[in-house]
Amino acid sequence: MTSLLFFLLSVVIAGELKMPRQDKAELQIVHELFRLRNEHKADSAEQYFADTVKVYMKYLKNRKNYKSIEIIDEIWNNTSEYYRMFNDWFKNRTWYHLIGFIIHHAGKYNIQKIYDLSLKYKKQDNEGRGHKTSFEIELKKLTKDIIGATNLDKQELRNKISELTYNNESGSDNKKIRSILLLYNLAALEVEEKTDVKFAFDKFKIKNAWDLEHINAVASERPTDESDIETNASLIWLKSALELPDIDKIYTSDNQKVHDLIKETIEKKLYLSKNDNSKFINIYESVINYFNELESPDSIGNLTLLDAGINRSYKNDVFPIKRKKIIEKNCSDIYIPIGTKKNFFKAYA
């Protein structure tokens, strides 16, 4: 270990190292560990953007006998302490989820704050609680602060969450809903005692890759495709609606059988506005209302997190069709959060 660090400190400043991708990844880990130690008193630009090993070399050159094995051992031991701490964070599933949630919202610059908290309670806190208990309490406080739950009791928090409303124009509540649903997925994993599976933050963190999806479709999501082709979104929706198990039980508000209206609409292309698509609109709303019993379809109770690529391909579909497709996707390599799976697999029915 010491020889590896000495090699890094002695050689990296001479120029870029040519190395395999795996070695570069490991070197990046060392860079991050050095950045977090912050003993070189780097300014903000150096701390977050410069080559951290090079910055350390600048710091070490101001120390007498900076190439001595004692100093190298000191640096390596301190850096190893950081690594051991990160390893503890990863192994403890609750810490992993809480820290992942905090960093996802507050950025990686919060790692130092979390590390300082860990050191603060390394022995016992003022109330005599052990390190692990005190550290976890502080992580939960940071989490509550992110979702705006500080100083709220359970009922107040429940009321606040129930008032959140989705807006397809990126409304002010959308970000809050996304945070609550992420936390819900983490909690769903925490209560799974028969598995040690952790949430895949590496897949979730990709910007704009996750949508807020309605569990039951809403009228505002009606397809409005005007292309006169076989892949017309409205036509595809009508054909899938014919396969619904309850399609023969659905009637319009004026008591017309939806199954028969769908066949007529497909045959005469009444899903196109140029042909008067009022029948298609009537069909769509009748089907949506049949499966959607919620008074507030845009409330958080009708929302879940879903991969954007999946969501945008069938966001107009009613619950039975969405459920079937989610089950199919779950058998592939596409990552579906546990909370989303429970919603569509009727785990809470």
Tally of structural domains, the chain: 3
Residue 80 and residue 103 share a domain = no
Q: Do the Cβ atoms of 215 and 222 come closer than 8 Å?
A: no
Selection from 251, 213, 210, 258 nearest residue 237 by Cα:
258
Residue 340 and residue 224 share a domain = yes
Residue 272 and residue 234 share a domain = yes
**307: domain range?**
219-344
Residue 11 and residue 73 share a domain = yes
pLDDT digits (tens, 9 = 90+) for 79-125: 788 788 888 888 999 999 999 999 888 776 577 788 888 877 666 65
Residue 242 and residue 225 share a domain = yes
pLDDT digits (tens, 9 = 90+) for 286-335: 998 888 766 678 888 889 888 777 766 666 788 888 888 888 777 777 78
pTM: 0.76
Q: What is the distance between the terminal CA atoms of the chain, rounded to a whole angstrom?
A: 54
- Where do we find the tokens 């660090």? 5
Would you say the C-alpha torsion 225, 228, 233, 236 has a positive or negative sign?
A: positive
Last residue of a domain, one of 141, 170, 199: 199
Residue 129 and residue 17 share a domain = no
Residue 213, in any domain of the structure: no
